[in-house]
């Protein structure tokens, strides 16, 4: 059974959740479990190199945003609560982040560790990254920090791989996959399509794993899962993200009508009207009775200012599917 942890390494609950998952798996007698870390970004605008967190926390806007995380506590009281919970889980002392920093490269390092050494190496790297941020109060966006973490975890090649840009596309795609799956908080555990949000107590995690494992369904082929993720991103009005996930399928299955239709929708939604029109014109030529393709082609031509060309397509589409006339 694969347990995916979708989390940001600057989220204290991710570190707390890691400890609680370990406790939940202690004495586990079910099928073998593989824990895999996946990326999530709490603050995509965080800089590299990082900036001292103390100054950021004095910003009234930041204070207000943090207050929304727990309306019942002030941000300072909330940080004290998290520190106390972390201590109870055996984390620290000391405890406390000192930097607001981009975690993109840290996520790359964690992903590369899994690619090169599997779940055990990835876990060691993730532990090192979390410790560097919360216990050692280091700036995770700095290459020398991540290089030291990699070396300490037994991933000697990690620093050199980061320097080449390795893992960049994988992390960017993974972030989109998480968004498509509905991951909205750090951490979120995902098992066979079932999700558990937050750093829940060990007994809750264990119950979740037992239930998710018992109701697991056969995984869909990778291409089908990717298509579903593309559709989800389109539904969430992220056409550029959809095109990013669609790119490999266009390369490998560019003749597939369903793939091309998704591409046309994404082109249209992202205002790439020339590409949308060219794709839809071919689809309509191949299947003149496809009312949706005609309707979308007509709308595309309208947006291009080609109104006379749009009229027959829109008319035929509404004749085949009356709801398109509204």
What are the residue boundaries of the structural domains of the chain, listed by start? 2-214, 222-325
* pLDDT band per the 50, 70, 90 thresholds, residue 175: very high
**What is the per-residue burial (b if ≥16 Cβ within 10 Å, else e) of 163-193?**
eeebbeebbbbbbbbbbbbebebbbbbbbbe
Structure tokens that stand for 105 in this block: 């490269």
**Mean pLDDT over all residues of the chain?**
93
pLDDT in the model for residue 216 = 65
pLDDT in the model for residue 219 = 75
Q: Is-contact 147 112, C-beta < 8 A?
A: no
pLDDT in the model for residue 31 = 85
Tens-place pLDDT, residues 114-141: 999 999 999 999 999 999 999 999 999 9
- Give the position of tokens 């998704």: 262
What's the CA angle centered on 169, arms 157 and 247, to 5 degrees?
Answer: 145
Rounded to an integer, what distance in angstroms lies between the CA atom of residue 43 and that of residue 54? 16
Tens-place pLDDT, residues 183-206: 999 999 999 889 999 999 999 999
Cis omega (within 30 of 0) on the bond before 187? yes
Rounded to an integer, what distance in angstroms lies between the CA atom of residue 59 and that of residue 75? 12
> Topology of 222-325 in CATH?
1.25.40
Q: Is-contact 48 141, C-beta < 8 A?
A: yes
- Give the position of tokens 């899962």: 225
Q: Is-contact 42 101, C-beta < 8 A?
A: no
The pLDDT of residue 66 is above 60: no
Structure tokens that stand for 312 in this block: 């027959």
* pLDDT band per the 50, 70, 90 thresholds, residue 74: confident
For the four alpha carbons of 129, 134, 136 and 138, in that order, the dihedral sign comes to positive
Tens-place pLDDT, residues 204-233: 999 999 988 777 667 778 899 999 999 999
Residues 6+ apart with CB under 8 A from 122: 36, 37, 110, 111, 113, 114
2-214 belongs to which CATH class? alpha beta
């Amino acid at each position: 059974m694969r347990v995916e942890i979708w989390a940001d390494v600057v989220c204290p609950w991710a570190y707390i959740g890691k400890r609680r998952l370990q406790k939940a798996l202690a004495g586990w007698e079910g099928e073998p479990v593989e824990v895999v870390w996946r990326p999530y970004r709490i603050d995509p605008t965080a800089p590299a190199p990082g900036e001292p967190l103390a100054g950021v926390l004095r910003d009234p806007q930041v204070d207000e945003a943090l207050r929304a995380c727990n309306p019942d506590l002030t941000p300072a009281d909330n940080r004290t609560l998290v520190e106390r919970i972390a201590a109870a889980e055996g984390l620290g002392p000391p405890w406390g982040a000192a930097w607001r920093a981009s975690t993109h490269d840290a996520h790359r390092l964690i992903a590369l560790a899994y690619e090169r050494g599997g779940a055990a190496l990835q876990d060691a790297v993730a532990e090192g990254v979390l410790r560097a941020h919360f216990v050692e109060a280091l700036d995770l966006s700095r290459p020398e920090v991540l290089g030291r973490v990699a070396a300490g975890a037994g991933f000697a090649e990690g620093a050199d791989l980061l320097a080449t840009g390795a893992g960049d596309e994988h992390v960017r795609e993974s972030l989109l996959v998480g968004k498509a799956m509905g991951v909205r908080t750090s951490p979120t555990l995902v098992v066979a399509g079932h999700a558990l949000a937050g750093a829940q107590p060990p007994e809750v995690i264990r119950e979740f794993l037992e239930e998710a494992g018992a109701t697991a369904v056969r995984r869909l082929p990778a291409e089908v899962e990717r298509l579903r993720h593309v559709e989800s991103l389109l539904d969430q009005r992220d056409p550029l993200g959809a095109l990013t996930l669609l790119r490999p399928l266009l390369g490998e299955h560019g003749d597939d009508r369903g793939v091309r239709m998704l591409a046309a929708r994404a082109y249209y939604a992202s205002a790439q009207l020339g590409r949308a029109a060219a794709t839809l014109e071919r689809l309509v030529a191949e299947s003149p009775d496809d009312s949706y393709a005609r309707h979308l082609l007509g709308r595309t031509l309208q947006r291009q200012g080609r109104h006379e060309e749009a009229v027959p397509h829109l008319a035929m589409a509404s004749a085949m599917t009356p709801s398109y006339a509204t």
